[in-house]
């Protein structure tokens, strides 16, 4: 029951409620009708017993009995007995064979599966003596119409329950239809990361309609806040670009001065390094905010991916060499695919750059590219410091940087490189994965479809 959808739970609950209600109602109605039938039969029998007694007469020779004694009305039989208890007139039911002693009043007897109600009354007839009048009715017969009703109810009852279940389900489904719309919209927003989607419920203005309307209003606010945040990042990056450029040019200018003391020179060099880091971060932020606003240009063209990869690896050989890291390549030749050249180069640069930054002194870095099922599979593997299991899921988050103490040097990163890598891979319709072990190294692999069509089917929003 716990795992059943709410729609089914409500239907079951409703059907159970209807069943109990019907059972109780039928029970009360049948027991009321049963006692009502009996009491009205008793009343009628009493009236008839007394009415026939009024017309009994002794004419000196014969006791004249009313003709009603010989008529059976509503199942009531009347019979007359003399003071000795011998039958002197009237009718008895065919099935009533028992010899029941006369006894003033109302009593019930049961014989051969039939229940009888008997009303005996004695009267004094002038000149004749005591006459007993007996009224007999079969309770079983009186209740036969009720029995038919009970049997009919037993047949109709399952049909009634089934009808209640079907109608209940249709009703619940109708009520829940807008909820399915709300769920679909929420899922679409989540999957396509498109905050411009709205539920836009139409029809009856009930509680669900009001809820959907409120939900849409809330989405308006969330979308506005998101847009504001994106604009803020973009505006702030733009505003910071100029002062940072000025700081950098001033540092260069100062360093040209040959009269600077060693201490002053190293102070300016620290400022220049920090300004360079900041400039790199601003450029990355601008890239991501353009990507968020779908303003980042993506021009896909048929390119030799093997060649680009070779060039990207070669470009980093010198920097890697400074750290004593050896770059090894394993690039399959002639892989062609539709990619944006600038973005594809940036993808390699970021991954290889990280491999060097977090690599071991005197270690190695492997850059590989091969074609696999219509996709370009690119890998960068290092034997560097690695990433712990807890940190691994967070490395794709913006500004996330694992503990800088691990590198053993001052951190020059921004935590924006991998989010950019992920965006580039996804905008090409691909996916990226990472395997890493602390102290052993890391292996980043991406898969990008080579055909134009496959790469186009992807949403343009990177994960924030
Ligand atoms: P950063 O500018 O700090 O390098 P990234 O987004 O490129 O930012 O990387 C995020 C974090 O992931 C880094 O701070 C680093 O801790 C970890 N990381 C990325 N690449 C590697 C790697 N090849 N080896 C070990 N750690 C890595």
**What was the pLDDT predicted at 464?**
39
Which residue among 285, 288, 418 has the greatest number of ligand 1 atoms within 8 angstroms of its CB, and so is best to mutate? 418
**What was the pLDDT predicted at 459?**
40
Hey, which residues does 445 pair with through a beta bridge? 379, 433
- Count of residues for the chain? 464
- Nearest protein CA to atom 14 of ligand 1, as residue: 401
Asked if residue 401 has its Cβ within 6 Å of ligand 1, the reply is: yes
Nearest to 356 by CA among 315, 393, 325, 389: 325
Asked if residue 414 has its Cβ within 6 Å of ligand 1, the reply is: yes
Hey, which residues does 432 pair with through a beta bridge? 446
Question: Which ranges in 91-143 belong to alpha helices (H)?
Answer: 139-142
Q: Where are the beta strands (DSSP E) in 102-156?
A: 105-111, 114-125, 129-138
Asked if residue 363 has its Cβ within 6 Å of ligand 1, the reply is: no
Whether the Cβ atoms of residue 30 and residue 146 lie closer than 8 Å to each other: yes
Phi, psi (degrees; rounded to nearest 5) at 337: -165, 165
Ligand 1 atom with the shortest distance to the CA of 386: 25
| Rounded distance from Cα 182 to ligand 1 centre (Å) | 39
Interatomic CA distance for residues 206 and 186, integer angstroms: 20
For the record, the structure tokens of 297 come out as 């240009």
For the record, the structure tokens of 458 come out as 């992807």
CA dihedral 198, 204, 206, 209 (to 10 degrees): 0
Asked if residue 288 has its Cβ within 6 Å of ligand 1, the reply is: no
CA angle, 142 as apex, 139 and 144 as ends, to 5°?
105
- Alpha carbon distances (Å) from 394 to 400, 401, 411, 426: 7, 9, 18, 17
Hey, which residues does 169 pair with through a beta bridge? none
Model's pTM, two decimal places? 0.61
Interatomic CA distance for residues 139 and 108, integer angstroms: 9
Question: Which ranges in 293-370 belong to alpha helices (H)?
Answer: 305-322, 341-357
CA angle, 454 as apex, 449 and 457 as ends, to 5°?
125
CB atoms within 10 A of CB 458: 15
Interatomic CA distance for residues 167 and 156, integer angstroms: 16
Phi, psi (degrees; rounded to nearest 5) at 16: -60, -40
**What was the pLDDT predicted at 1?**
62
Asked if residue 417 has its Cβ within 6 Å of ligand 1, the reply is: yes
Asked if residue 81 has its Cβ within 6 Å of ligand 1, the reply is: no
**What was the pLDDT predicted at 115?**
84
**What was the pLDDT predicted at 457?**
43
Element (H, E) at 251: helix 207-256
Hey, which residues does 162 pair with through a beta bridge? none
| Rounded distance from Cα 347 to ligand 1 centre (Å) | 14
- Alpha carbon distances (Å) from 297 to 231, 292, 343, 445: 18, 12, 10, 24
Interatomic CA distance for residues 283 and 411, integer angstroms: 18
Asked if residue 138 has its Cβ within 6 Å of ligand 1, the reply is: no
**What was the pLDDT predicted at 310?**
97
Q: pLDDT in tens for each of the 464 residues of the chain?
A: 667 888 888 889 988 998 899 889 888 988 888 788 888 888 999 999 998 888 888 888 888 888 888 888 888 999 999 888 888 889 888 888 767 888 889 888 887 778 888 999 999 988 888 999 999 998 877 777 778 888 888 888 889 889 989 999 998 888 888 888 888 899 988 888 788 889 888 877 888 889 999 999 999 999 999 888 888 888 888 899 999 999 999 999 999 988 888 899 999 999 999 999 999 999 999 999 889 888 888 999 999 999 999 999 999 999 999 999 999 999 999 999 999 999 999 999 999 999 999 999 999 999 999 999 999 999 999 999 999 999 999 999 999 987 655 555 555 678 999 999 999 999 999 999 999 999 999 999 999 999 876 655 444 444 43
Using DSSP, state whether 373 is helix, strand or coil: coil
For every residue of 405-423, which 3-state class applies, written as one string?
A: HHHCCCCCCCCCHHHHHHH
Tokens 């100062």 -> residue: 254
For the record, the structure tokens of 446 come out as 């991406």
Whether the Cβ atoms of residue 331 and residue 391 lie closer than 8 Å to each other: no
Whether the Cβ atoms of residue 276 and residue 248 lie closer than 8 Å to each other: yes
CB atoms within 10 A of CB 320: 21
| Rounded distance from Cα 445 to ligand 1 centre (Å) | 14
- Nearest protein CA to atom 12 of ligand 1, as residue: 395
| Rounded distance from Cα 333 to ligand 1 centre (Å) | 29
- Alpha carbon distances (Å) from 423 to 288, 294, 344, 396: 9, 11, 11, 10
| Rounded distance from Cα 349 to ligand 1 centre (Å) | 13
CB atoms within 10 A of CB 228: 10
| Rounded distance from Cα 271 to ligand 1 centre (Å) | 23
Whether the Cβ atoms of residue 394 and residue 419 lie closer than 8 Å to each other: no
Residues 6+ apart with CB under 8 A from 163: none
364-384 CB burial, b ≥16 within 10 A, e <16: bbbbbbebeeebbbbbbbbbb
């Amino acid at each position: 029951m716990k795992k059943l959808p709410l729609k089914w739970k409500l239907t079951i609950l409703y059907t159970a409620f209807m069943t109990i209600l019907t059972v109780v109602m039928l029970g009360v109605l049948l027991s009321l009708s049963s006692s009502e039938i009996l009491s009205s039969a008793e009343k009628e029998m009493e009236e008839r017993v007394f009415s026939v007694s009024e017309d009994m007469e002794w004419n000196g020779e014969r006791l004249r009995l009313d003709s009603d004694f010989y008529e059976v009305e509503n199942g009531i039989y009347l019979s007359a007995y003399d003071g000795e208890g011998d039958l002197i007139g009237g009718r008895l039911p065919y099935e009533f064979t028992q010899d029941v002693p006369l006894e003033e009043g109302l009593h019930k007897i049961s014989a051969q599966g039939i229940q009888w109600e008997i009303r005996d009354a004695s009267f004094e007839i002038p000149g004749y003596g005591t006459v007993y009048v007996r009224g007999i009715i079969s309770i079983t017969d009186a209740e036969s119409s009720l029995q038919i009703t009970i049997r009919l109810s037993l047949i109709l009852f399952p049909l009634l329950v089934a009808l209640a279940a079907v109608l209940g389900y249709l009703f619940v489904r109708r009520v829940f239809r807008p909820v399915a719309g709300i769920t679909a919209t929420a899922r679409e927003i989540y999957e396509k990361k498109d905050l411009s989607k709205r539920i836009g419920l139409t029809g009856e203005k009930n509680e669900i309609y009001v809820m959907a309307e409120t939900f849409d209003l809330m989405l308006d606010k969330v979308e506005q806040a998101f847009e504001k945040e994106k604009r803020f990042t973009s505006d702030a990056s733009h505003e910071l670009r100029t002062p940072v450029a000025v700081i950098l040019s001033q540092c260069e200018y100062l360093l040209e001065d040959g009269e600077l003391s060693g201490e002053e020179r190293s102070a300016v060099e620290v400022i220049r390094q920090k300004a360079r880091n900041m400039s790199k971060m601003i450029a990355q932020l601008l890239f991501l905010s353009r990507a968020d606003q779908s303003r980042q240009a993506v021009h896909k063209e048929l390119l030799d991916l093997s060649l680009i990869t070779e060039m990207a690896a070669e470009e980093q050989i010198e920097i890697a060499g400074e750290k004593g890291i050896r770059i090894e390549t394993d690039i399959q030749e002639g892989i062609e695919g539709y990619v944006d050249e600038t973005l594809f180069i940036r993808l390699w640069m970021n991954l290889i750059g990280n491999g060097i930054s977090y690599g071991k002194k005197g270690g190695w870095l492997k850059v590989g590219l091969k074609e696999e099922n219509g996709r370009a599979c690119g890998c960068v593997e290092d034997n560097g410091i690695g990433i712990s299991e807890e940190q691994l899921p967070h490395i794709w988050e913006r500004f996330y940087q694992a503990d800088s103490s691990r590198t053993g040097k001052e951190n020059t990163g921004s935590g924006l490189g991998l989010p950019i890598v992920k965006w580039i891979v996804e905008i090409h319709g691909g996916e990226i994965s990472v395997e890493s072990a602390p102290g052993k190294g890391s292996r980043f692999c991406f898969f990008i479809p080579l055909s134009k069509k496959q790469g186009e089917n992807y949403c343009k929003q990177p994960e924030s």
